[in-house]
Amino acid sequence: MTLYSQQAANTRRTWFLMAVFLMLVIAVGFGVSWYYNMSSILYVAVAFALIVNFWSYWYSDRVVLSMTGAHKATREQYFDFYTVTENLSITAGLPMPKLYVIDDNAPNAFATGRDEKHAVVCATTGLLSMMKRKELEGVVAHEISHIKNHDILLMTVAVVLAGFLAILADIFLRISLFGGGGRGRDGGNNQLGIILAIVGIIVAPFAAQLIKLAISRKREYVADASGALLTRYPQGLATALQKISDYGQPMRKPSHATAHLFIGDPFGTKTTNWMSRLFSTHPPVKARINALLNTAR
């Protein structure tokens, strides 16, 4: 397998997961509307999800930068960061993204923004001080690939849909448990339908969370492959990932809301049992390095 084929395969898997994700939103909305015998609930649910997605996409960069405490990076203060990003942006055929820095010793970086013309690449001071230039190029190429591959929009949609499903399920369960009343008065078949609807709505947010995490992990593989193609030097990113993993300590203010954006897990190195991998926002570093080095041959 080559870097090109790996990139294409992971992209196909990601869009398949997004299709399943959207079907979950429609299924939950349908279940609630069936329970109350009101088809308008389904339309309202889908419309509300689209509106929230639009708002989140439009203002995602401001929200993320505020949550992470990032500040603007100048060319004079962060010369290597600036020139590496400038050169790779030209190579990728993209406008130069705005650069931000987080004052944190833990090495990490992320990209955000609503499109290629309004993109941001942000790195921690720990990453900028730790990486050699080739390693920094690998990290920045990874983040620029997120911008070029439109991952910003994809992950914003995934996060909002997961949160929306959780809120919708919570509202439905509270109403149904505390006097909501639905189709239960019509007999046994409806009782079975109600049980299935409740079970489905309980399971849906959990499944949505797993799909969101799976999408996040797939996008990391895609960005790794795309970044390696951009620099033509997979070893740079592989070495950078190893350094990020070896540091092991969490960032000062990690957040589950933004964890999926970072190149490395902001909560630090965790155990690698199957349960931790299932709920991780990032694929194992060893697997990422192996994919980079093996597919580059």
pLDDT of residue 280: 77
Confidence grade of residue 185 (pLDDT, cut at 50, 70, 90): very low
pLDDT of residue 255: 86
143 is catalytic: yes
DSSP 115: S
DSSP 77: T
> Is residue 183 over pLDDT 70?
no
The closest alpha carbon to 292, from 221, 215, 216, belongs to 221
The closest alpha carbon to 182, from 28, 45, 191, belongs to 191
- Per residue in 211-222, pLDDT (tens digit) is 777 777 888 998
Q: Looking at per-residue confidence, does 135 or 276 come out higher?
A: 135
pLDDT of residue 39: 81
The closest alpha carbon to 161, from 279, 54, 35, 282, belongs to 54
> Is residue 237 over pLDDT 90?
yes
Catalytic residue among 135, 137, 143, 220: 143
Beta pairing partners, 123: 101, 109
Calpha distance 158→105 (Å, rounded): 29
